Structure 1
Amino acid sequence: MDVFGGVADLYEHARPDYPPEIAEAVLAYHGGRPASVVDIGAGTGKGTDVLVSIGAPLTCVEPDELMAARLAERFPDARVEVTTFELWAPPAGGADVLACATAWHWLDPATRNAHARRALAPGGTLAVFAHRYGYADADQQAAVRSALRAVAPEMRDRPVDWFHRDIVESGQFDDVRREVFRRELRLDKARYLALVRTFGPYLSRTPEQQQRGIAALDRLVDDFGGSVVLDLRTTLVLGRADAR
């Protein structure tokens, strides 16, 4: 996850916010205000912005020191722990709510569900949410994917709401539910290209691939009339840790 530290400021400004309804859904599912909330892979705090409105003591776990520094500045009342989820030590008795915003795929797939279950208090709530960036216009979506695969042929999208299936199939949580929030988001070329520059697949490419990819998207957005309309799908998955 440390690929993001060098673009912390861009990440904070370019990534869209999460729907505030997520906090309401977590509170309703949990059955009231929790005693504690832990935000895993908190980044610069895009998900933390929603979680802080729950009104419970908040701990943020973030392995990138630059991202963690931004977190500490933005949320002075939160406890910020600079470590990975795998090395993080949960509080005694477990967390009431364990949340993860668009970072579930960065956690070890062999252990993330079991570790999350162990980190929760009995009856505690898991809340995993993430954006999926589609396009309102199917032709735009096809053109963008074609352009990017010309640069990186091995690139593939994860299935829609893949983490819902991951959590269900782990068998670690009871009463797993999924809620989906959708909105259209129009971005001009500068904002769209800034957003792309914050994506992990972009940051993990060679400088030459990055340059070619951005150049191809720059031309495409001009062909689209200077803007892109995203179909922004935000999925929230909730699960409960039983008392076993």
Structure 2
Amino acid sequence: MPTLSSAENRPHQRRDIAESFGVDAERYDRARPRYPDALVERIVAASPGPDLPHVLDVGCGTGIAARQFRAAGCRVLGVEPDARMAELARRLETGVAVDVAKFEEWEPGKRRFDAVVSGTAWHWIDPVAGAAKAARVLGPGGLLSVFWNVARIPADLAEAVADVCERVVPDAPFDFRAAITRPPVDTYRIILDKVCDGIRTAGGFAEPEHWRYDWEFTYTRDAWLDVMPTHGAFTRLPADSLAEVLEAAGNAIDARGGSITMPYATMAVTAKRS
């Protein structure tokens, strides 16, 4: 459920949203879905490193992707602008180090990496400056791979949430209905196109490739209501407004029998350092 709003072409300028997720870092880590093992394995296999590829995780948050790459045998360094998220990432995985900084401003020194990855975070980074920084820290043949879990929210649930959002947050700085009900492929086409344009403009990479993995996950009512407050559309809502949104979503799921199967597509843009 991305939040593009009036800054749809420049989401990286919405620092108020980008840095709001740490308000409940433990919920974020608990509720957000992981990434397909096949994607992680493909990135590791395509990296030029030795037996222990060195991975830079940009916008690592609480370390969800970082822990998956650690489990796949990688050394991982995270870069994360929110100190609250970074602290939880360190606490949950002692083998993950995290530098607290915006990626565009982060100074790598002499450190170099076999892969630069970013899970559901690259849209908060300037697409040209981010690609240029990635090119700077990757060795020859190194891999830049940025990816998102894209949920296709069923129409009845999306409409129920949109209706209550328009009522309780009439002066929202973005269009809740469009953000929630617009086909996710349309939203992510904008994001992925801008990622590719940023890579081409920055230079230093081969032509970007698109990777996609389709899967699904069944949520109980309570599990999905745990996920919703971690999305950028809701992280800054007043508690009473959020409660009304969650009540409407819960009622919609109850009408479905108390659970919901969410189709996901994990969509990636990947480019080799030339």
TM-score with structure 1 setting the length? 0.87
Q: How does 1:95-134 map to 2 (within 5 A)?
A: 95-109=113-127, 111-134=129-152
- Residue equivalent to 2:270: 238
Stretch moving more, 115-124 or 6-15: 115-124
Identify, as 1 or 2, the structure richer in helix. Answer: 2
Q: How does 1:151-190 map to 2 (within 5 A)?
A: 151=169, 154-155=175-176, 156-157=178-179, 159-170=187-198, 171=200, 172=203, 173-190=205-222
Stretch moving more, 77-86 or 184-193: 77-86
Would you say how many aligned residue pairs link Structure 1 and Structure 2? 241
- Residue equivalent to 1:74: 92
Aligned residues: CA RMSD: 2.4
Aligned amino acid, residue 33 of structure 2 = P
Stretch moving more, 146-155 or 203-212: 146-155
- Residue equivalent to 2:3: none
Question: Helix, strand or coil: the match of 1:201?
Answer: coil
Cα shift at 1:39: 0.6
Q: Unmatched 5+ residue regions in structure 2?
A: 1-17, 180-185
Aligned amino acid, residue 210 of structure 2 = R
1:93 to 1:9, Cα distance in 2 relative to 1, 3 A = closer
Q: Which portions of structure 1, spanning 4 or more consecutive aligned residues, are displaced by more than 6 angstroms?
A: none
Cα shift at 1:45: 1.2
Cα shift at 1:92: 1.6
- Residue equivalent to 2:70: 52
Question: Helix, strand or coil: the match of 2:35?
Answer: coil
Are 1:23 and 2:40 matched, yes or no?
A: yes
| Identity of matched residues, % | 28
Cα shift at 1:110: 5.5
1:196 to 1:225, Cα distance in 2 relative to 1, 3 A = same
Aligned amino acid, residue 133 of structure 1 = A
1:149 to 1:174, Cα distance in 2 relative to 1, 3 A = farther
1:192 to 1:3, Cα distance in 2 relative to 1, 3 A = same
Stretch moving more, 221-230 or 187-196: 221-230
Choose the corresponding residue for 1:84, options 99, 102, 105: 102
Stretch moving more, 200-209 or 121-130: 200-209
1:23 to 1:209, Cα distance in 2 relative to 1, 3 A = same
- Residue equivalent to 2:24: 7
Question: Helix, strand or coil: the match of 2:207?
Answer: strand
